[in-house]
């Protein structure tokens, strides 16, 4: 019964899954929702509301208290001494700032006191900027200018400078709090911070999460001297080492052995970002499959056969925890846009679905660029008029046509913006809230000309971490255990109905409307 444990510290909750690779089953799951379980942190959605100038921060002590609650709950559900390996993942880009006492004392935690009480005095910045933070526009520009432009940053780091990425956030901290920056001996990502706490050592950052910082050179998979210099002084000595996903960060520290009953010596594989972890947990760590997650915003990610950056600068390249690289692209106008069109006509989701079913592929050439908010893919000027179509949105009278135009527009755009990845997927795995909708899944299959499947997996981030721990420590083939745990839901396959050229002219018209001829 070799159990492995995968941890997921995400924006709104901390959760974990324990799997048994012999019986190929889930042994236990637990989750702590920050807002509900830790109301004292006054972060109902996991971040501190009301930040000014685009700041969105979370309290790192909340992540530590959540970890303790989580293991307390899990201990009641499963014998943690049977866990033989652990790994984890964190929300990407968020950063934790620590003084030299962290480096000297992280291996001395005392079970008589909580993690948060002991670690609080080691923080040089009380709160952590997270991925929703957009306060660093000036710093993005400064970094890009210092290294010779955004195309150079993109070529080096896999992304242009992005507000939520860690490098621009570090630069902002250095500028607004130079003394606290001087006091800072270590800057961790959420993933490497929690991995360090679990191991009682200062853990490395993996290439998956490290590439979300605008600091890592994706051709060398190491810190980039030019980017570091453009970001803040003497940054190299404040950053942990970079390592590949299949590295042992350490063994579980005595704190967790004594307090929660883990076996002494349990190995911990380096943590990664939530998206790289989800790539594994969706069973897509090998090139050939791609994942589309339909959420508030839609994301598209895939393992990449080669390291390639988006020439348009909208996509991101991260390390693939299974080796090599992965691409990720975010589309702001996901569910938000679908909802906007639904609400304009006073429809419910059943009527929305019926509209898709009752309208023809190609929508009789009625096309919409369904951007209700400034889009990141393509990168759009915040002041640009956002919603375009072959008629102004207020003039769309036919609800069914508008709904099909919105959904087709979303996936035509997604296909056009992800062509740089040069992927020819055999299968698309669809996940997230709207993925259950067969009519939306059909449009995805038609536009991408690929088979679409939904997986039975729900917690793909934590599952990915437990699969990585199993593969790394039990010597199991990652693809094999992915296929055991990440099975398609029966009868969920949707095949394309459209012909291969069905969207050719619509794609051209879409680019014209967008002004990208």
Binding site for ligand XUL (CB under 6 A): 11, 91-93, 131, 164, 212, 273-275
The answer to whether 267 touches 203, Cβ cutoff 8 Å, is: no
Q: In angstroms, what is the minimal distance from the CB of 77 to ligand XUL?
A: 26
The count of residues in the chain is 517
Q: How many CB atoms lie within 10 A of CB 247?
A: 15
- Cα dist. 387→55, 164, 406, 417, 443 in Å? 27, 25, 11, 17, 21
Using the minimum distance from each CB to ligand XUL, give the nearer residue, 377 or 410: 377
Of 287 and 315, which has the nearer Cβ to ligand XUL?
A: 315
3-state secondary structure of 19: strand
Task: Classify burial at 279, counting beta carbons within 10 Å of its beta carbon; exposed 0-12, middle 13-18, buried 19 or more.
Answer: buried
Judged by beta carbon, residue 92 or residue 127, the one nearer ligand XUL is: 92
Q: Is 158 left (phi over 0), alpha (psi -120 to 50) or beta?
A: left
Three-class DSSP category at 3: strand
**Based on CB atoms, which residue is closest to ligand XUL, 85 or 189?**
189
- Which of 278, 188, 209 is CA-nearest to residue 465? 278
User: CB 316 → ligand XUL: shortest distance, Å?
Assistant: 6
- Residue bearing tokens 């935690």: 109
Of the two residues 93 and 366, which places its CB atom closer to ligand XUL in the complex? 93
In the complex, least distance from residue 384 CB atom to ligand XUL, rounded to whole angstroms: 22
Query: Shortest approach of ligand XUL to residue 18 CB, angstroms?
Result: 22
**For ligand XUL, the closer CB: 211 or 441:** 211
CA distances from 73 to 80, 85, 395, 462 (A): 11, 19, 54, 16
- Integer Cα distance of 256 and 269 in angstroms: 16
Q: Which lies closer to ligand XUL via its Cβ, residue 188 or residue 388?
A: 188
The minimum distance between CB 94 and ligand XUL, in angstroms, equals: 8
Cis-peptide, bond into residue 253, ω within 30° of zero: no
Place of tokens 């509900």: 36
Least Å distance, CB 318 to ligand XUL, is 8
Q: Are 40 and 69 a contacting pair, CB within 8 Å?
A: no
Least distance in angstroms from the C-beta of 82 to ligand XUL: 30
Shortest distance, position 330 Cβ to ligand XUL, whole Å: 6
Q: What is the closest distance, in whole angstroms, from the C-beta atom of residue 380 to ligand XUL in the complex?
A: 17
Contacts of 440 (CB under 8 A, 6+ apart): 294, 338, 353, 356, 407, 434
Closer residue to ligand XUL, CB minimum distance, 12 or 107: 12
The residue with tokens 């969920």 is 492
Cα–Cα distance measured from residue 329 to residue 298, given in angstroms and rounded to the nearest whole number: 8
Minimum Å gap between C-beta 21 and ligand XUL is 27
Write the DSSP symbol of residue 211.
Answer: G
Of 131 and 223, nearer to ligand XUL (C-beta) is 131
Phi, psi angles (nearest 5°) of residue 137: -60, -45
Residue number of the CB closest to ligand XUL reads 92
Please say which residue, 274 or 482, places its beta carbon nearer to ligand XUL.
274
Q: How far apart are CA 181 and CA 366, in angstroms?
A: 54
């Amino acid at each position: 019964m070799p159990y492995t444990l995968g941890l997921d510290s995400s924006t709104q909750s901390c959760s974990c899954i324990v799997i048994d690779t012999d019986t190929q089953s889930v042994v236990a799951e637990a989750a702590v929702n920050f807002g509900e379980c830790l109301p004292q942190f006054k972060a109902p959605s996991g971040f501190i509301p009301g930040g000014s100038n685009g700041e969105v921060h979370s309290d790192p002590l909340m992540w530590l208290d959540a970890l303790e609650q989580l293991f307390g709950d899990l201990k009641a559900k499963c014998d943690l001494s049977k866990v033989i390996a652990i790994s984890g993942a964190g929300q990407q880009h968020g950063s934790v700032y620590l003084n030299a006492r962290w480096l000297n004392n992280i291996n001395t935690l005392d079970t008589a006191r909580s993690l948060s009480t002991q670690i609080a005095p080691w923080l040089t910045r009380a709160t952590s900027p997270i991925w929703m933070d957009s306060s660093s526009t000036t710093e993005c520009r400064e970094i890009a200018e210092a290294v010779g432009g955004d195309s150079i940053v993109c070529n080096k780091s896999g992304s242009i400078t992005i507000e939520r990425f860690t490098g621009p956030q570090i630069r902002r901290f250095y500028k607004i709090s130079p003394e606290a920056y001087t006091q800072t001996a270590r800057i961790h990502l959420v993933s490497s911070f929690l991995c360090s706490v679990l191991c009682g050592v200062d853990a490395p950052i993996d290439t998956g999460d490290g590439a979300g910082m605008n600091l890592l050179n994706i051709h060398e998979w190491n810190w980039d001297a030019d980017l570091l210099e453009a970001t803040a002084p003497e940054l190299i000595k404040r950053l942990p080492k970079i390592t590949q996903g299949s590295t042992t960060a350490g063994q579980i520290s005595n704190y967790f052995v004594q307090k929660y009953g883990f076996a002494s010596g349990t190995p911990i594989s380096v943590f990664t970002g939530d998206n790289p972890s989800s790539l594994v947990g969706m069973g897509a760590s090998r090139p050939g499959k791609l994942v589309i997650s339909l959420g508030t915003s839609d994301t598209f990610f895939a393992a990449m056969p080669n390291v390639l950056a988006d020439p348009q600068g909208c996509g991101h390249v991260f390390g693939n925890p299974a080796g090599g690289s992965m691409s990720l692209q975010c589309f702001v106008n996901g569910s938000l846009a679908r909802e906007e069109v639904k609400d304009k006509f006073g429809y419910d989701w059943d009527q929305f679905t019926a509209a898709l079913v009752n309208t023809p592929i190609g929508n009789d050439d009625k096309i919409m660029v369904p951007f209700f908010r400034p889009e990141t893919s393509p990168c759009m000027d915040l002041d640009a008029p956002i919603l375009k179509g072959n008629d102004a949105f207020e003039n769309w009278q036919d609800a069914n046509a508008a709904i099909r135009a919105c959904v087709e527009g979303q996936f035509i755009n997604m296909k056009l913006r992800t062509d740089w990845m040069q992927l020819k997927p055999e299968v698309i795995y669809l996940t997230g809230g709207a993925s259950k909708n067969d009519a939306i899944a059909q449009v995805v299959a038609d536009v991408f000309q690929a088979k679409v499947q939904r997986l039975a997996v729900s917690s793909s981030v934590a599952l990915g971490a437990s699969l990585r721990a199993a593969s790394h420590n039990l010597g199991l083939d990652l693809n094999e255990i992915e296929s055991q745990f990440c099975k398609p839901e029966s009868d969920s396959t949707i095949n394309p109905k459209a012909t291969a050229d069905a969207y050719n002219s619509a794609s051209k018209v879409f680019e014209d409307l967008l002004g990208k001829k």
